[in-house]
Amino acid sequence: MPDQYLSLGSQLNAQVPNPYYNIAPAGTYLATQPTLAYNELLRPYTEYTYLQATRSLPGARSTFNALSVKYNHSFSAGLSLLTTYQWSKAMDNGPEDYFGWATGNSWRDAYNTMLDYNISTHDVPQSFVTALVYELPYGKGKTWGSNAPAAVRAVAGNWQVSTVVRLASGLPIGPVIDGYSNNLNNYGYPGPLLPDLLSTNVAPANRSPTNWINPGAYLDLNALINAGDTALMYQLGNAPERLTQLRERAERNIDLSVARNFGAEHYQVWLRGEALNLTNYAQYNNFCLDLTESSCGPFGQAYGTENNPRTIQLSLKFIY
């Protein structure tokens, strides 16, 4: 049912004479019902009231714009460097994951799909990555230490240090829902109810893993409906499915490797020590997004992390 009729409120449930009674094919729903709910007659194809438009319909769109910069150079002192930076924006009205489960497999309004046109679930506005490998200039054939005693070269020579540093924006969080019950399901709007957005200040003052989202930025429509404001039963929440201001914790990852080469040209042994997520930085995700806390709680609490905790590993490799 087109959303302009939602303003009729409770009139949508009024029983009216069925113009298809005893006219539609015998035995069908339309032929056997002397009256119908008024909202059923307002739908484009009254004979198919049990069907609802989902993401399978054509019409979704997406855009992606980016500025990418790359620098790659091998220096003469044993240092190799690769650095990339991307500033981008991805937008769509058919996200690949949320339309699979979190919004009931559907647009909020199939007659106005641009209502859900906003940043994509994979949008990462800022992304900086640098990777370097440095052959330390000490040991046989190096800038320093080539003539040092063999015992000194054996300990201090032929070391290699490498690292990968990634700094990036967090992925968008959403959608914030106002409970899984939705009175508009009866009128062709499947999925959970979205709240009204009161402010884009969605980050609380004292942000923490248990308090990542400011509930005061949203209007709890369900609470008002339960308090007696029945007019809101016929209103689509205006909160976008995703806000660029509401994201997982930004990525700040450092991987570090220190390796030592033993042996001659034809037979070598590599001893390597690696620290993944060296600083043990937690990138919070999997938040409670139910404003009513009927399915999880407390609202805005993180239940997991996007990345793994610090991992330290040692390896020994023989090359021949």
Q: For the segment 282-318, what is each residue's pLDDT rounded down to a tens digit?
A: 999 999 999 999 889 899 999 999 999 999 999 998 8
Dihedral-angle region of residue 188 (phi above 0 means left; psi in -120 to 50 means alpha; beta otherwise): left
> Is the same domain home to 45 and 74?
no
Q: Which domain holds residue 196?
A: 63-319
* Residue 77 lies inside a defined structural domain of this protein: yes
> Is the same domain home to 21 and 138?
no
* Residue 197 lies inside a defined structural domain of this protein: yes
* Residue 275 lies inside a defined structural domain of this protein: yes
Q: Measured between alpha carbons, how far is 270 from 259 in angstroms, rounded to an integer? A: 7
Q: Measured between alpha carbons, how far is 276 from 280 in angstroms, rounded to an integer? A: 8
Q: How confident is the model at residue 103 (pLDDT cuts 50, 70, 90)?
A: very low
Across the chain, mean pLDDT equals 86
Q: In 3-state terms, what secondary structure has residue 106?
A: coil
Q: Name the residue type at position 168.
A: A
* Residue 57 lies inside a defined structural domain of this protein: no
For the beta carbon of residue 17, count every other beta carbon within 10 angstroms: 10
* Residue 76 lies inside a defined structural domain of this protein: yes
pLDDT of residue 104: 44
Q: In 3-state terms, what secondary structure has residue 40?
A: helix
Q: Model's pTM, two decimal places? A: 0.80
Handedness of CA 152, 155, 158, 159 (dihedral sign): negative
Count structural domains, the chain: 2
Which of the two residues, 237 and 145, has the higher pLDDT score? 237
